[in-house]
Structure 1
């Protein structure tokens, strides 16, 4: 590895670590969103079941309590929907951060690869020059 590629190696490793960290944060945020969506589904299912189960004859007080409880579930659904919207926005931010980190890692990898290729070609030219020089000295005069 030539000196320039060696000099870039700490930056490459740092970029790789940042990209990996960003990817872990992305996965964690996706899990948070999935959990929030699951919880919303559970709230909706619970509301549906609760609303359907009260078809029997109830007193006025029981009907009012039931209605109040359904309204509280509806409020929880609205809050959970807002939470999902917040989680989606957060996911987009985390995804954008990962994309930028990954792009930087890829760019640095590309630069190092170019330096290594340049070094390889320089070594090939040097070796060819040595072979050519030896061939000149071996020829009879």
Structure 2
């Protein structure tokens, strides 16, 4: 006869796998966010360095080209900032999904543990009843 805990084990295993998959996606999303933040930092550093280089003795055309290039870097910074905001929103969604799958896994683990404990106590009671019965029919010497 199959116990309830054994019948629930495939669901527990599936929930555990889903939780592990969600955790892997969470780690990946965190890495994507960190990469995007690093790129933003690099853009800001590059802009600062480029803007700080001397502009003396440049022609009007060179100054306009320089200003246009700095504006393009500023646009890239704005785009990267928007990308970081998008990555943060995605991270929140992935984190929520992991929390849900982990909670389900924990709940199923708890149910299986309760069933196993109930089954263990039932077996203990049965063993005690069997021992009591054997002692009752034992002949005194």
Q: Shorter chain as normaliser: what TM range?
A: over 0.9
Give the conservation status (yes or no) of the 8 Å contact 1:29–1:87. Answer: yes
Counterpart in 2 of 1:29? 29
Q: CA deviation at 1:2?
A: 5.1
Structure 2 counterpart of 1:66 = 66
- Could you tell me which runs of 5 or more consecutive residues in structure 2 were left unpaired when the two chains were aligned: none
Give the Cα separation in 1 of the matches to 2:11 and 2:135. Answer: 43
CA distance in 2, matches of 1:97, 1:81: 25
**SS of the counterpart of 2:58?**
coil
Q: Is the 8 A contact 2:26 2:94 kept in 1?
A: yes
Q: Identify which range, 102-111 or 2-11, moves more after superposition.
A: 2-11
Residue equivalent to 1:107: 107
- Residue equivalent to 2:18: 18
- 1:139 Cα deviation (Å)? 5.1
Which segments of structure 1 move beyond 6 Å, counting only runs of 4 or more?
none
1:1-141 pair list within 5 angstroms = 3-138=3-138, 140=140
Scaled by the length of structure 2, what TM-score is found?
A: 0.96
Q: Do the aligned residues in 2 keep the contact of 1:2 with 1:119 (CA within 8 Å)?
A: no
- Specify the SS of the correspondent of 2:49: helix
RMSD: 1.5
When normalised by structure 1's length, the TM-score is 0.96
Q: 2: distance between equivalents of 1:140 and 1:65?
A: 111
Task: Return 28-37 or 53-62, whichever deviates more.
Answer: 53-62
Contact residue 26 and residue 98 of structure 1 kept, 8 A? yes
Give, in whole Å, the separation in 2 of the partners of 1:54 and 1:61: 15
**What SS does structure 2 have at the residue aligned with 1:38?**
helix
Counterpart contact for 2:5–2:116, Cα < 8 Å: yes
Q: Per the alignment, in what secondary structure is the counterpart of residue 90 of structure 1?
A: helix
Alpha-carbon displacement from aligned partner over 1:30-80 (angstroms, at most 9, x marks no partner) = 000000000000000000000001332211111000000000000000000
